[in-house]
Structure 1
Amino acid sequence: MAELTAQIEQAREEYYVRDAPTLADAEYDRLERELRELEAENPQLARVDSPTQTVGGQAAPGFAPVAHLERMMSLDNAFSLEEVDAWAARALDGLGAGAKAEFLCELKIDGLAIDLVYENGVLARGVTRGDGRVGEDVTANVRTIANVPERLGTPNPPAILEVRGEVFYPSAAFEELNDQRREAGLAEFANPRNTAAGSLRQKDPAVTASRALAVYVHGLGAHDGLEAASQSAVYAQLQEWGLPTSPHWRVLQDLGAVRDFITDRGEHRHDVEHEIDGIVIKIDSFAQQRQLGATSRAPRWAIAYKYPPEEVTTKLLDIAVNVGRTGRVTPYGVMEPVKVAGSTVEMATLHNQFDVERKGVLIGDTIILRKAGDVIPEIVGPVEALRDGSERPFVMPEDCPACGTPIAPEKEGDKDWRCPNTKSCPAQVAGRVEHAASRGAFDIESLGEESAIALTDPDRRRPEALAALRAGHAVYLPIRSAEDLASPAFVVMKNGEESRGTDGVPMLRITEENQDLLPPPQHGVVTIGDNLFDLTPGDLEHVVVWQPLRRGGESTGDWQIVPSFWSRQIWRYYKTTSEWRLTKPSQPGKTTDLLMDQLEHAKEQPLWRVLVALSIRHVGPTAARSLATAYGSMDAIRAASLEELTGTDGVGPIIAEAVRDWFAVDWHGALVDAWAASGVRMADEVEEGFVRTLEGLTVVVTGGLEGFTRDGAKEAIIARGGKASGSVSKKTDYVVVGENAGSKADKAADLGLRILDEAGFEALLAGGPEAVGDAAEATETTEADEAAATEKD
């Protein structure tokens, strides 16, 4: 308990006073929760001034201490919906049998708490939270924040009004600030919260004024001259007086609606203007708040639900490099596994060596790791205060780790280094095969990253396994024949461990001493990609891959060799004859049969998907659709001049040059010819009487349509000469609105654009603007009438 207390107090000082936290929020929450549990189990050891009973930190040096008119409290946290339910049950129980309450739910802003005091309607001071009783006077800096009014917008202001809020750095402004710092060669700021705190605590208010800070107020302290019955009523009054209140709050009638609000906002937590880390839930009624009261540090009538952390700290064990399908050599961090945003992360990209230098990370650092929603994990930077001198810098390798070819920038000034062995570098071939099978290309679901590696580079992890052998670990090899059963290396494995019984799986245990039993090095059955559509199950029979051996979900340090596309032989021990017999030979797996079927089906995919699958730089689905629509066949695209390609709608000079350069490489043309010989369709069938009804028009489709998939709608638009856009703007000609349409439909209505339902979309495809002129005009008129009626009401 003493150790936890010291850690928490140190973390508070770094967070509140120095604006240089060394712990991620999730780690701080874990420590505080552990201390709270220990205090509950050992109440005789709990300190009166324990961090679980106090708020915030001390005032930072350089700012005058100021006492709050009314104490600023903290909030208790909930980390699950069940904990929210338990809090609500306690609150309702405290209100009396059969009591009901309305819940005000609002976004928990990830910023810096602020206390604003207005005297007779004029801003008198701005003070940080501090320890909840005394904070720092940052009035001069607060006055530079654009949305903080100097005077309240009322002729009859209250004599005293103390409001609490949160200073934050808007997400878009934060990205812009970091873009500017990148261009200036300066280190980027780690996150909006720390940047907001550091900006507010600048000694020079001019520096604060240069930062795009904003404030939302969300609570009351001392007040004289403000009467309201509820939190929601206060928000309405504060907004009327010109104080900035958040638009993201709702008053909800029951816990089911509260749960839905938490879930919905969690799914859209990056759609608002600021960072959030949870939802604050309050009893709306002030009378009920007073009835429930507070503990020594937090009100009983409110709780903060915390979303899974998106920013954590962990140890950077190493920086390795990965080779992508275009030959780009990318450094990535190898870290101690850590859970962030709901998933366990062990690796994160570092883009290039300049990115490593710019972020200032060293191998061995404690680092800040961020993973926002489904975004790829990102190493933000090091926690320099935790360095002990054992850290070392990253050095870019001179040779490609996959094929040994010397690597270098493609041209002078490039930040990215590449392996020039584009034809046969196993890592590049694996990347191209995986890309060809991706959803935006041939859409071969059974051919993912692991299968692509097994086809092209099955020995990729062999060096790691051999390193484990040298370190004293073992590699387990399946029995391949009856002769293996007589080997001294023969063992029986059960649940990942060697078993004394005979009811397990027979294996060979390979160590450094008998590693001659290991299978010889393998070469991929796909070496360039030209034979991808000619593969048979027989080609894949002997492909094996190397995998770490886990027990109970944990790594053991040992490795195993397993068949990738065929099943393992099944051997059974017969006690009556004291012998092992082969009861089920190896055979193609179900996923292998599925792969064969999907490869055959992929041959019939439209031309644009074939173009995407070729991994031509800059040619994604949009450019590929444009090329396929304009030329109709692979031969026509290959024959087109640079000028013709450049003039193609949706292509332009960069893509055109990339296409010409790609086809100028001899083995690229041979690859296309091989696929064509295997039966891959290289031309689109044109429907008889097909008319380009959407020539020059931009169409946006939002929401679900019964008769079209998302890709199908895009293809229908592009095939008729239109542009299928993903965003609504004044230049959009039509917006097709299906079921569960989101903000795009609202924006289209706001801009007065022509809106169609699915029937209108089908008419537009068939007959062009003339076919929907009246319907679109009617839609516009109806919306205009509704808007006018709403304004009149």
Structure 2
Amino acid sequence: MTLERLNELKEKLNQYNYEYYVLDNPTVTDQEYDALMDELIKIEQAHPEWLTSDSPTQRVGGQVLEGFTKIRHQVGMMSLGDIFNQEEVEAFNDRVTSTIYNVDYVCEPKLDGLSVSLVYQDGILQYGATRGDGTVGEDITHNVKTIRSIPLRINHPGHLEVRGEIIMPKKSFEKLNKERKEAGLPLFANCRNAAAGSVRQLDSAIAAKRGLDAYLYHVPVPEELGVETHYQALEKMKELGFKVNPLIKRCQSIKDVWAYIEDMTKKRPDLPYDIDGVVIKVNDLASQKRLGFTAKVPRWAIAYKFPAEEVITHLDDIILTIGRTGQITPNAVLDPVRVAGSTVQRATLHNEDNIKRKDIRIGDYVVIRKAGDVIPEVVRSLPERRTGNERIFKMAHVCPMCGQPLVRRANEAAYYCVNENCDSKNIEKIIHFASRDAMNIDGLGDKIVEQFYNNGFVRHIQDLYHLADHEMEIMNLEGFGKKSMDHLIASAEASKANSLEKLLFGLGIKGIGAKMADTLAKNFGTLDNLLSASYIQLTSIKDVGDTIAQSLGEWQRSEKNMQLVADLKALGVNMSYLHNTETITSPFTDKTIVVTGTLVSMSRKEIKAYLTEHGANVTGSVSKKTDLVIVGADPGSKYDKAVSLGITIMNEDEFREVAGL
């Protein structure tokens, strides 16, 4: 039993794993493989000092964690924008080719699993992490090591991060649900849920038995592989031993892309794993950089989603729910039916106008689907199946929760409860603030918030940071012990350190979703700066229009909201944007610039956004402090004033030349 023999066994077993789980081409029998594994286990037991993290014996599981630790991604894990038809595919191509010429694409099956980031240092797997909220994920290394298609060691010096999808193959899913049924356990709804549930097991022995697999498809820092195209990165990943989907294909034109989508649509039912669409990526990495990103998604990639599956069921009733803004939403109560892999009993009907337009009645048979394969919605009614017992829906005129009159705002289809003391509305606000995409207070689910609210522990958002004041009372509730209470308090405390965009989204200001919150936080840096911004400052930012500016103004006029901000500050909640806010140095850096006149190649908003990103201070009026005025056609009085003050004037073509656009 020598160290030389141990290394020989490790090398052989890693190679056999690769051949079996990645290439699907085993070269030894199970008996031969097991004999070598037994020999390696015995050597490591006799010499525990020789055991390393890349040993094949570390794949069998057995490590049990008390909880998941958080990992901040070195590069944010962004989601993709969705498109749903050929016209939108072609529109994506038009957006790309308006900036980039001679484009080729790489098309990939969109696997329906759980995104994972794998980080290697000097060839050894350091950790695996979930996507989480895109900035911070969970450390799942103990479970990643049980997935035999993921190499524990690669031949690559220095640092390397690769990303992909952990999936549960259909055969593994069927086997798992059969075992759970025999054991009297609840069944998993679909392969994606089963994969996610397996990866988030604290006991790695459970994950090891679930038959998980993984395909890798992205290198966030391609310089680490020294490649110039995405396709080259995939080839390099294959050389290093990663499992890359063989159905990935280069496409020379958007016509080829659509042909690939049609081919995947036909192949989808017979694939050994679930896919829900096709990912389309610009192949050239320099072009990807030039196209860049929005606040949440890359401009160089898009996800085509397969048309939603439609099924028929019976609509038993229509009930009303209330959201954090007070909006009242009618929802269909349905006979349970399976749609796109899960059982559906509720579906949104959006608003009264939608119900009338589609002529949906209580007692109808209806067609339902999942919008984007996620949110159930009623597509249409089936009048030909009516018996005469169906009832026409009548919208309530008072809040179903507090009984106060509902208001339908001008130019909106929705009704609102405007009672600031409506319990249901307040509960929803607290739930939203604590939610994953907002402040992410782990352990504070919808039912718990409602329970805490009804018991008087959390009546306002601020109360989430005073849970310790009710520790003994909460621990007397069913399901709450010392451990869960400590975790909840620690999670609330940790949320204080979140970056501004999380807080801004959590405040629930109408119209400010996660993307807009990120845009505003990035541009203003602090909540104080945002709340003191003028209408002109707000609307000069790309994607920030009149509606957002008015919504912010209306929100600030509430004393209750301003008191909330003051209280959160006093509690130590961070009010600043914590990510990299460095601007790109350019000829416009630190210049005060005015843009005026009618522009052709770029909108005024786009030029202002470019200037802000490149370090300029864009203002709305010309003064002695103005350094530059960029003019289009019919510039008017601002041009005249710039001439009189001797300020540098640049036309649109000159601006583009200096900017390199």
TM-score by length of 1: 0.36
Which of the two has higher C-alpha Rg?
1
Higher relative contact order (CA 8 A, sep 6+): 2
TM-score normalised by the chain length of structure 2: 0.43
